[in-house]
Structure 1
Amino acid sequence: MDIFFLGTGAGIPAKLRNVTSIALKLLEERGSIWLFDTGEATQHQILHTSIKPRRIEKIFITHLHGDHIYGLPGLLASRSFQGGESEVTIYGPKGLKEYITISLSVSQTYLKYPLKIVEIAEGVIFEDEQFIVEARLLDHGIPSYGYRIVEKDRPGTLLADKLVEAGVQPGPIFRKIKVGETVTLEDGTVIVPSDFLGPAQKGRIITILGDTRYCENAISLARDSDLLIHEATFSKGEEKLAFDYFHSTTHQAAEVANLAGSKQLCLTHISSRYDRQAWQELVMEAQEIFANTDIAEDFKEINIPSK
């Protein structure tokens, strides 16, 4: 499980930072990519990476400001041209379906794969046997959501030697035990998975927030997260400016991480007013409150290791 930043700037594209887009790489877990926001030129950023558009399974839009969605129609079209055939599901606020439908219709773009658009409300918006995704409203000028991605606990390591001692040979029965299925052998012996698996592997939690002022829902979504990705459009001391523009400061992002008990904080959505030399100062500001803080950069990758 890896986070890959395709765009980390605020408002408009800049030389050092493109506008917002984040890829959650779940290649080992499910062979797919989930995107969070698709600012202008997201597909251009992807060209400089190993990400394959055909592997994009889901796209989560935090809100409908242009710097978070202008790259969406082009990305969807290019995925079709490049041979993508599997279904893509897009989640986001009310109005997203109209935006996509009109963009594709006016440009006479016809996708060669199924497209599902889900306009969300607060609560669990997706769940399968591997993941739960929860959305909550943040505090921005328009409806803006944060997402909490929870990986479900995984079965422990298969105790193969112990199974062989019990008379089970490698093969289909091993696979059934690994996924938690009780098996009855030909001699009537019942193999209970819990006796042949190590401790369950705790699932990981990632929180990705849209644009927001400091708010309680941000803390709730980030509770006990392994990684919190929080906007920090402004530096400390600019709280009034951040409030007026519905954004957050470095200190406010760090306070959310601290109160939520997050393990790691990564700052993003950085204003172009801060040049490369100022980036480390922004990190140091946040570290005054939350020590394990880093700052996103375009093409930066963060691995979230298994527990």
Structure 2
Amino acid sequence: MRDPSRPLATAIGFTAVLLWALLAVLTVWTQPTPPLLLNAICFAIGGAVGLIWCASTGGLGQLRRVPLGVYAFGTVGLFGYHFLYFSALRMAPPAEAGLIAYLWPLLIVLFSGLLPGEQLRKGHIIGALISFVGAGILVTSGGAGFDLANLPGYGLALICALFWSTYSVVSRRFGAIPTASVTVFCLASAVLSALAHLALEETVWPVGFAGWAALAALGLGPVGLAFFVWDVGVKRGDIQMLGVASYAAPLLSTLVLVVVGIAAPTGALLVAALMITGGAALAGWASNARPSGG
């Protein structure tokens, strides 16, 4: 299968952002299923989809040539991010935790600026400060007070953002590794999640048809197809442009939560979303500016 052109690869990568806009609401709808069990089932579905895709495109043979270190890296990235994300949304208000987790587009821009040959400019730093002030508004509920009960969930959401941004930027250095390798990332993450679930959690299944449908949708989309198209984007597309385009994710995710009635359209939520997105956009603009401008 031929590699897509750079603009096409970037567009393919952006479809992952559209899928991830549904991650928070689908996660909420799978309650009370615990995070590790949710991980195990979703990754199993995503891995099965990957196997079907590899078999149909002749990619199964490529899997044997991928170094074990790459498989370990990808498994830690996918398993770690989603365990942290699902846990955060169980331990804190989903809209606020989701927005903090969606600091990863900003972090991708910042980390990309620290790579060899890149430059961290004032716009990156100012944008980061604006975004983190926005996250602070969420944590303090717009100045209404700091709820210590939600602190663990907010902390996990922030670590989650660090996980995914690091995974995405480092993946750029594995451009020669075929996207088919994501299949193994998913299957290995499913096994790890299942073992951890058996050791640490009580088994609680989704409730009713709606819960199972949300679980299946998670495995097919945000925790399935999204990994494959994102891999194409960060390896073969314009990672800076993809990072900037990803700033739509927190607004889209929060809008979905508001539309379905899970989150209230408060002024603090709106201001925080705009600040996080605006700060990230400023950082993206700084990344694309000439060296003399920064």
Q: For this structure pair, what is the TM-score category when the shorter chain's length is used for normalisation?
A: under 0.3
**With structure 1 as the length reference, what TM-score do the two structures score?**
0.25
Larger-gyration structure (1/2):
1
Q: Which has the higher contact order (CA 8 A, sep 6+)?
A: 2
Question: What is the TM-score with the length of structure 2 in the denominator?
Answer: 0.26
Q: Write 1 or 2 for the structure with the bigger share of helix.
A: 2
Looking at secondary structure, tell me which structure has more strand per residue. 1
